[in-house]
Structure 1
Amino acid sequence: MDENQDILVTRLGALAQQTRLSVFRSLMSAGPQGISAGKIARDLGVAPNTLSAHLNVLSRSGLVTQRRDGRSIIYSVVLSAVTEMVDGLVNDCCGGHPEACAPLSGVSSQACAG
């Protein structure tokens, strides 16, 4: 496996757990401004220590970043990493028949438009 595939597997693995996927989806909904760990815990009904472990996995995968805002830690999705992940999944789409993959073109930008 090359380095790009290793990164893709790590990112997909980080999302391959129900709570982490829910956290990721909450962060995607929050957009670039992000959301505090406390709000995520309340919204999803996840214990803070459990949430911390899940956020660490997502952060190590490169899909999530954090910043301090006063006493809060704000988490947000790294949109470039999400785009790379989606691109990595469809990179070799359709074995030389790009017309078959036309519905996938612009998936990332369409997701943010709606």
Structure 2
Amino acid sequence: MDIDSAAKALKELGHPTRLAIFKQLVRSGYQGLPVGDIQQQLGIPGSTLSHHISGLVSAGLVSQRREGRVLFCVAGFEQLEQVMCFLQDECCLDGGAEPLAS
């Protein structure tokens, strides 16, 4: 993962509402959640939710799929893992403590 992609993902997760959305999606696993359920759980207006989901999608942290009339959002677990690895990859290479366990 390059530094620009990591920075974009971290920027998107740095907003409290987007982080709350992402946490809900992580908890739901690979099945994801309907957008309406996310809106109900977090109690935010649909237009605000759409704006925040759009940012998460553009960072590769969320994907969407449509089943009939229902739009589902799913956490991008692979992208999350890449961001985490990016942060840990060079741990302690310049000396200091032991590297973090993978």
Superposed pair shares fold, TM > 0.5: yes
Render the CA deviation track for 1:63-113: whole Å, top value 9, x for unaligned. Answer: 1000001111000011110100000111100125697124x42xxxxxxxx
- Aligned with 1:54 (options 39, 52, 55): 52
1:11 maps to a residue whose letter is A
Could you tell me how far apart the structure 2 residues matched to 1:90 and 1:67 are? Answer: 31
| CA shift in 2, pair 1:34/1:98, >3 Å | farther
More helix as a share of residues: 1
* Displaced runs of 4 or more, over 2 A: 96-99
Q: Report the number of matched residues.
A: 102
Aligned residue number for residue 13 of structure 1 = 11
- Using CA pairs below 8 Å that are at least 6 residues apart, which structure has the higher relative contact order? 2
Q: TM-score, normalised by structure 1?
A: 0.84
Instruction: Return the letter of the residue paired with 1:73.
Output: L
Q: For 1:34-91, what per-residue CA distance to the aligned partner results, in whole angstroms no more than 9, with x for missing partners?
A: 0010000000111111000000000000010000011110000111101000001111
Classify 1:32/1:97 alpha carbon distance in 2 versus 1 (closer, same or farther; 3 Å).
farther
One-letter amino acid matched to 1:69: E
Q: 1:76 aligns with which of 74, 77, 82?
A: 74
Distance 1:99 1:13 in 2: 28
Alignment correspondent of 1:91: 89
Cα distance between partner residues in 2 of 1:84 and 1:5: 11
Could you say which residue in structure 1 is the equivalent of 2:35? 37
Residue 42 of structure 2 corresponds to residue 64 of structure 1: no
Amino acid at match of 1:28: V
Structure 2, unmatched stretches of 5+, are none
